[in-house]
């Protein structure tokens, strides 16, 4: 009985430590983003993105939705989508393109602050996400338009009756405080579950098996094998959780700057494949585009980044850590 209690206390302590690491970043940024919303900066950003949406074969309203997503996250973007659904006339290809953009680039202030704390550039990884999102979304939207693929009309009026997404126009402080406290509580709860699950996977040897399974992918991308477990967690469950673990593991295992960059760049582009993907599938996005396509694009980008950083490190005479044979990819 005492050993069980000791395990529970140790789990709570570790979870609390991870939570505080994330909360110290999340809370100030969430406050700043809310103030920006109150000042109308989110709507202004959406208007500025209107011409960009035109280049991506999307209506100007998509700029407001993506701007909200960039600054607040997937749920904020979906709430904005719900509020504009009645005036939107989108095809399945266009909603899929917008969904892909939302998945690649969302909640930039909070998530890239975590990335910066974990050891990679805020501006560099944020630019990587936004540029990838814009290019991939435009490619899907124009491919749909030019080939006739996914061109069926996709009405979204039903979203205006959804209470799950919340009210995009409710910007009162009490509603925001309740939402923030809920988000923080949910984050802590998920971290506790995550710590327990990871411990079970590690004790049963499943973590090692998963690592072996993804080793070929790691070799293709150039990511160091030691970073595989925590990167896998972030890919499946989210950047916040994966970032917190990378912060912890990087200190324990002394990850090189290059390893942190590659792992965090991967997480920046593809994370939370379970929750976020299901949310966007629910509004009618094409699964192949937002799951398979997103992962393939991420793999290609990280492989290129690995090659560039490997050559750069070699030229400067600095030691580099790479996955086995990754330099031969």
Chain segment 110-128, per-residue pLDDT in tens: 899 989 988 899 999 999 9
Query: How high is the pLDDT of residue 170?
Result: 55
| Rounded Cα gap, residues 170 and 168, in angstroms | 6
Q: Which of 182, 70, 191 is nearest to 132 (CA)?
A: 70
Condensed to tens digits (0 to 9), the pLDDT of residues 168-226 reads 455 567 777 877 787 678 778 877 887 887 788 778 887 677 667 766 776 677 877 77
Q: What is the DSSP letter of 91?
A: B
Confidence band of 91 (pLDDT split at 50, 70, 90): very high
| Rounded Cα gap, residues 137 and 289, in angstroms | 10
Confidence band of 287 (pLDDT split at 50, 70, 90): very high
pLDDT at 322 over 50: no
Condensed to tens digits (0 to 9), the pLDDT of residues 25-68 reads 667 766 776 777 778 776 787 778 888 899 999 998 898 889 88
CB neighbour class for 219 (10 Å; exposed up to 12, middle 13-18, buried from 19): buried
Q: How many domains does the chain have?
A: 1
Residue 153 pairs in a beta bridge with: 91
Query: How high is the pLDDT of residue 302?
Result: 93
| Rounded Cα gap, residues 28 and 95, in angstroms | 32
SS (H, E, C) 221-271: HCCCHHHHHHHHHHHHHCHHHHHHHHHHHHHHHCCCHHHHHHHHHHHHHCC
Q: Which of 148, 145, 156 is nearest to 89 (CA)?
A: 156
Quote the domain boundaries for residue 24: 2-328
Residue 91 pairs in a beta bridge with: 153
């Amino acid at each position: 009985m005492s050993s069980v209690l000791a395990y529970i206390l140790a789990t709570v302590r570790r979870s609390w430590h991870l939570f505080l690491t994330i909360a110290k970043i999340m809370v100030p940024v969430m406050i700043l983003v809310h103030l920006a919303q109150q000042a109308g900066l989110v709507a202004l950003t959406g208007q500025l993105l209107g011409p960009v949406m035109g280049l991506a074969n999307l209506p100007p309203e998509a700029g407001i939705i993506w701007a909200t997503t960039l600054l607040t996250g997937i749920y904020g973007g979906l709430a904005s989508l719900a509020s504009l659904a009645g005036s939107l006339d989108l095809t399945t290809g266009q909603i899929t393109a917008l969904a892909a953009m939302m998945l690649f680039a969302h909640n930039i202030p909070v998530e890239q602050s975590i990335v910066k704390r974990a050891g990679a550039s805020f501006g560099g990884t944020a630019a990587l996400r936004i540029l990838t999102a814009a290019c991939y979304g435009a490619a899907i939207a124009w491919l749909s338009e030019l080939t006739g693929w996914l061109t069926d009309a996709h009405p979204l009026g039903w979203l205006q009756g959804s209470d799950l997404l919340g009210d995009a126009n409710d910007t009162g402080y009490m509603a925001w405080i309740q939402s923030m406290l809920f988000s923080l509580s949910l984050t802590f709860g998920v971290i506790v579950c995550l710590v327990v699950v990871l411990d079970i996977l590690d004790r049963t040897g499943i973590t090692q098996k998963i690592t072996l399974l993804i080793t070929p992918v790691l070799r293709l991308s150039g990511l160091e094998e030691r970073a595989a477990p925590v990167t896998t967690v972030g890919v499946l469950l989210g950047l916040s959780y994966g970032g917190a673990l990378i912060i912890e593991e990087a200190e324990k295992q002394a990850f090189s700057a290059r390893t942190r960059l590659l792992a965090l760049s991967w997480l920046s582009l593809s994370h939370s494949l379970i929750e976020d993907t299901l949310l966007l599938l629910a509004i009618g996005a094409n699964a192949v585009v937002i799951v398979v396509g997103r992962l393939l694009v991420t793999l290609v980008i990280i492989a290129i980044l690995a090659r560039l950083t490997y050559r750069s490190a070699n030229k400067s005479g600095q030691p580099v850590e790479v996955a086995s044979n990754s330099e031969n990819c």
